[in-house]
Amino acid sequence: MGEGPARGGEGRGVLTGSSATGAAKSASATGPSAESASAESASAESASAESASAERASAERASAESASVGRVSVGSVSVEVVDPRHDPEPDGWRDLAASARRRAVWSYDLLRTAAWTSRHPVLLAIAREAGRPVAAVSAVLAGPRLRSYAPSASVRAPRLALPTVAVPGSSAERGWFFAPGVDAADQRALLARCARRLRRAAGAAAPGVLWLRAEADDRAHVPGVVRVSRPLNPLAQLATPWSDLDGWLASLSKSRRVDLRRQRRALSFLDCRVGPARDLVEGREVAELLWRNEAKYEGGHLPSTPLALPYVEALTAHPDVVAVAYRDAAEHLVGIALLLDHPTWPLYWRWGAEPVRHLYFDSYARLLEWAITNGKRGVILGKGKSDLKAALGAELVPSYAVAAGP
């Protein structure tokens, strides 16, 4: 994963910020201890680069192998259902996820952590042809909440459980994917095989399967004789065809452009750093800010489950997660934006902050600047606040929930 700028906006002068503060701190480190720290940092960077290179090579190999999948002999396909809490990582899982360019939330370690901290059992169905994985479906066996967390022994789905296809940790992407090259004509049949196994795991009373975050073209691939769909909040995605942040700012209204520059100046008392989350923040301090933000939306008949600390700690330690971290003069974390990296379309995952004005809007500018610098095609801004995101230039992509009967 390429690193973003060590200080947001540094060296550009597009938005005046606090980058000089961090640079001055770094420049003031002298003497033997600074040299030692520099040597350790260089060693760590070298090891990180070697690890990243190995991961890229693995992804390239997996992509080359999967690119020729083509038509699948569906009749010979077997489906393996695993419980991430107890079962080891399935054979070929890492290569499948890498070749399909899945984001960090599909890491099996993160799926395991999510499953242990879920209110309902989480299952993974993997379709294989001749032993090679060609499709995957993640599902939560949702039902009445009888316990604080999912049962620890075996699946033991809740009564009247409804397999809900979604990937834990991200409500902004669909819970299924295919190996590159799988023919579109076979995708529905592969999903039908996976859905059948998931319904069996949920028990005979399962009325069907609920597929979340289906886009318009996906609905034709959702299996089932009886299908009912309803629109969800659209997904905002902002393309970044510009060579620098000035291009994006020029595309905005004059008032929005002036506001963003004024807000950056107003935040100059904070030190903002953009880069790999594991280098900038600790899971506990991130979780506390995320919980603060979630608390604003509590209530209603179906409140969401708070993010579990072990999951936040595991995610912030993942090499493919980028952070925009705001700290005050005492090095206290006052704002955090987390991005799930991707070769072309990273996803703005979560935001949390103390009550400091202008941080939220500034985080968009920082993330977009990072995306432009690192050659991304755009950033997926997630769901919710659609009007605001559209005002920033995002396209709103329709999204649906599809309930499908057998």
The residues, any chain, with a CB within 8 Å of residue 205's CB and separated by 6 or more, are 159, 160, 161
Nearest Cα to Cα of residue 334 among 348, 310, 353: 353
**What one-character DSSP code corresponds to residue 182?**
B
pLDDT confidence bin for 303, thresholds 50/70/90: low
Distance, in Å, from the CA atom of 305 to the CA atom of 312, rounded to the nearest integer, reads: 13
Nearest Cα to Cα of residue 2 among 339, 244, 365: 339
What are the pLDDT digits (tens) for 146-178? 455 555 555 555 555 688 999 999 999 999 999
Range name among 68-77, 123-132, 358-367 with the lowest pLDDT average: 68-77
Q: At residue 78, does pLDDT exceed 70?
A: yes
pLDDT at res. 286: 98
19-25+241-376 and 69-233+400-404 agree in CATH topology: yes
What are the pLDDT digits (tens) for 23-71? 333 333 333 333 443 444 444 444 444 444 444 444 544 444 444 566 7
Nearest Cα to Cα of residue 405 among 209, 229, 194: 209
Domain ranges of the chain: 19-25+241-376, 69-233+400-404
What average pLDDT is seen over the chain?
A: 82
Distance, in Å, from the CA atom of 17 to the CA atom of 14, rounded to the nearest integer, reads: 9
Distance, in Å, from the CA atom of 142 to the CA atom of 32, rounded to the nearest integer, reads: 57
Q: At residue 241, does pLDDT exceed 60?
A: yes
Residue type at position 303 = P
Pairing assessment for the beta strands 162-165 and 209-214 based on DSSP bridges? parallel
Nearest Cα to Cα of residue 318 among 84, 110, 95, 174: 110
Q: Provide the percentage of residues in the chain whose pLDDT is more than 70.
A: 75
What are the pLDDT digits (tens) for 344-374? 999 999 999 999 999 999 999 999 999 999 9
pLDDT at res. 199: 87
Q: What is the mean pLDDT of residues 287-299?
A: 84
> Quick one: fold of 69-233+400-404?
Aminopeptidase (3.40.630)
Is 19-25+241-376 CATH 2.160.10.10?
A: no
Distances (CA, A) of 98 to 22, 57, 261, 357: 35, 10, 38, 39
pTM of the model: 0.80
pLDDT confidence bin for 205, thresholds 50/70/90: low
Which of the listed ranges 2-16, 18-32, 229-243, 284-298 does the model predict with the highest average pLDDT?
229-243
Asked whether 316 and 277 are in contact (CB, 8 A), the reply is yes
Residue type at position 175 = G
Q: What is the DSSP string of 118-153?
A: -SS-EEEEEEEETTEEEEEEEEEEE----SSS--SS
Which of the listed ranges 58-62, 143-147, 207-211 does the model predict with the highest average pLDDT?
207-211
Nearest Cα to Cα of residue 373 among 246, 272, 285: 246
Range name among 291-295, 347-351, 391-395 with the lowest pLDDT average: 291-295
pLDDT at res. 53: 47
pLDDT at res. 1: 38
pLDDT at res. 49: 44
pLDDT at res. 185: 85
Distance, in Å, from the CA atom of 159 to the CA atom of 29, rounded to the nearest integer, reads: 61
Asked whether 295 and 303 are in contact (CB, 8 A), the reply is no
Distance, in Å, from the CA atom of 211 to the CA atom of 165, rounded to the nearest integer, reads: 5
How close are the terminal C-alpha atoms of the chain, in Å?
Answer: 42
> What is the radius of gyration, based on Cα positions, of the chain?
22
Grouping H, G, I as helix, E, B as strand and the rest as coil, residue 264 is helix
Range name among 3-7, 245-249, 250-254, 398-402 with the lowest pLDDT average: 3-7
Nearest Cα to Cα of residue 304 among 295, 312, 315: 295
